[in-house]
Amino acid sequence: MNLILLGAPGAGKGTQAKRLEEAFSIIQLSTGDMLRAEVASGSDLGAEAKKIMEAGALVPDELIIGMISKRIDQDDCKDGFILDGFPRTTPQAEALGEMLEEKNLTLDHVLEIRTDDDAMVARITGRYTCAKCGAGYHDEFQKPAVEGVCDKCGGKEFSRRADDNEETVRSRLKAYHDQTSPIIAFYGDKGVCKAVDGMASIDDVTKQLKEAIGG
């Protein structure tokens, strides 16, 4: 099963992708995570992406399309994948369609996590992850059971993203509305897009997504 999770920055795509990964044994492909790994590795692609990401703008389509196409060919994607943060523009959505056709793959679900912009600033500025295993947390909305200790791996070090500040969030929300939201209609016209209420609790959103997928 191959699916796309659509939604504004902070909507809960990463949080839900990790839960769907476990529930359906398919892999999360986050273009944001891939780009952050490129930045950390000091590659040419990372150097090009870094400033753009810090400004809250979108990295050029051709870089992203090439990166995701290579990633989908890897062995761990053969049972299915969850696209998180891709596609983000109409040209990316069109390229994905062509790519899947060439690779003889199907797109089974496009799921939009619908949220209110006003709530996204608090979600993003309070977000942090375990530095060891990448599990996601929030200062208020998703605290670990024991303060300062990761529920998943026991790690005690956490990190926050460079672009998770209020100013950048506003640019990222604008980029979402200007450049990404048109692809909801693109998939709507094809009859494959379903929306869930992303303002509900994390558990409830998972339930809605599983129902939409039919599992």
Give residues in contact with ligand AMP (CB under 6 A): 9, 31-32, 35, 52-53, 56-59, 64, 85-86, 88, 92, 172
Nearer to ligand ADP, 46 or 126 (CB): 126
174 a catalytic residue: no
d(CA 73, CA 31): 15
Active site residue 19: no
Element (H, E) at 129: strand 127-130
> Which span sits near ligand ADP by CB under 6 A: 13-21, 34-42, 57-65, 87-95?
13-21
The site map against ligand ADP for 136-175 (x = CB under 6 A) is: xxx--xx---------------------------------
At 28 the three-state DSSP class reads strand
Half-sphere exposure of 111 (CA within 13 A, CB side): 29
Specify the residue for token string 């191959």: 2
Distance of CA 37 to the CA centre of its chain: 15
Would you call 161 a catalytic residue per the annotation? yes
> In angstroms, rounded to a whole number, what is the distance separating the alpha carbons of residues 208 and 189?
22
Q: Which positions from 108 through 137 interact with ligand ADP, judged by CB under 6 A?
A: 123, 126-127, 136-137
Q: In the numeric block, which tokens belong to residue 12? A: 């809960």
Which residues bind to ligand ADP, rule: CB under 6 A?
7, 9-15, 123, 126-127, 136-138, 141-142, 198, 201-202, 205
